[in-house]
Chain A
Amino acid sequence: GENVEQHPSTLSVQEGDSAVIKCTYSDSASNYFPWYKQELGKRPQLIIDIRSNVGEKKDQRIAVTLNKTAKHFSLHITETQPEDSAVYFCAANQAGTALIFGKGTTLSVSS
Chain B
Amino acid sequence: GAVVSQHPSRVICKSGTSVKIECRSLDFQATTMFWYRQFPKQSLMLMATSNEGSKATYEQGVEKDKFLINHASLTLSTLTVTSAHPEDSSFYICSAAGAGTMEQYFGPGTRLTVT
Contacts and interface: CB of A to CB of B under 8 A. Distances in A.
Interface string B88-114: 000101010100111110111101000
B43 A99 contact: no
Interface string B17-52: 000000000000000101000000011111001000
B95 A89 contact: no
B102 A32 contact: yes
B91 to A, nearest CB: 7
Interface of A: 31-32, 34, 41-44, 46, 49, 51, 89, 95-104
Interface of B: 1, 32, 34, 42-46, 49, 91, 93, 95, 97, 100-104, 106-109, 111
Contacts, number: 47
By secondary structure, the A interface counts as loop
6 contacts: A32-B102, A42-B108, A43-B106, A51-B102, A96-B32, A97-B49
A41 B108 CA distance: 9
Contacts of B91: 41
Contact of B109 (A43, A46, A51, A103): A43
Given A32-B102, A95-B101, A102 B111 contact: no
Contacts of B104: 99
A1 B22 CA distance: 28
A104 B84 CA distance: 28
Contact of B43 (A31, A46, A102): A102
A75 to B, nearest CB: 15
